[in-house]
Amino acid sequence: MAEAERIIGTPDIPEAEHGADGGQDAEGGQDTEGAQKPTGKRKIAVLFGVALVAYALDLVSKMVVVAKLEHHEPIDVVGDLLRFNAIRNAGAAFGMGEAYTIIFTVIAAGVIVVIARLARKLYSLPWAIALGLLLGGALGNLTDRIFRSPGVFKGAVVDFIAPKGFAVFNLADSAIVCGGILIVLLSFRGLDPDGTVHKD
C-alpha cells in the first residue's frame, strides 16, 4: 500500500490528520503504523510453569535412579541402543569439564538470574517455553551441585540416560538442549522475547 502511494502520489491531508491516523506526526516523525508492539499479557506464568514441570521431572527421576539403580547393573531399555546407567558427573552436561565444577555452578546460577530478569519483558509464548526449559534444566543440575556429595557447590550431578555411543545425561540436560535449540530457531525467525519480529 505504501509503495502504491509513493508511485501515484498521496492526496493533500492536513498534518493533524497524519498524526491521528498513525502516519507522519506534526513534527515530521517516521511512520509508526507498521511497528509491531507487544500485545497481550506477559508470559511469566508459562515460563515458570514449564520450568516447574521440567524441574520436577528431573528431580523425581534422579530420586528414583539413586534409590533403585545406583550401584546396580544397567537396565536395557531398547536393547543395547538405550539403557539406564546411573553415574555421578562432576562436570558440565554430557560429562565435559569435570575439573571446573564450581565454575559450572556459578554459570548455572547466572543463567537463572538472567532468565528471571528477562521475564519482565516476556510476551512471546515460544520464548516462554524455551526459557522455561532452560530454567528448569539449570535448576535441576544446580540442585545436585548444591546438595549432593562431595560438598556444597561441588556436588556431582546424577546422570542415567545412556544411548549407545553417546555420553550419559539426564532430563535436566535434555531440557537445556531443547530450550537452546528452540532459542536458536526463534532467533533465526527474527522473533524477540518481547513478541516483536525483526527482519535483517
How far apart are the C-alpha atoms of 51 and 83, rounded to whole Å? Answer: 26
Residues with catalytic annotation? Answer: 159, 173
How far apart are the C-alpha atoms of 134 and 177, rounded to whole Å? Answer: 8
HSE of 85, CA atoms in CB hemisphere, 13 A: 15
CB-CB contact of 140 with 172 (8 Å) = yes
Residues 6+ apart with CB under 8 A from 180: 130, 134
The grid cell for 154 is 561441588
Cell match 508511485: residue? 7
Shortest CA distance to 65 belongs to which of 131, 159, 146? 159
Residues 6+ apart with CB under 8 A from 67: none
E strand residue ranges, the chain:
75-78, 82-89, 157-163
Residues 6+ apart with CB under 8 A from 184: none
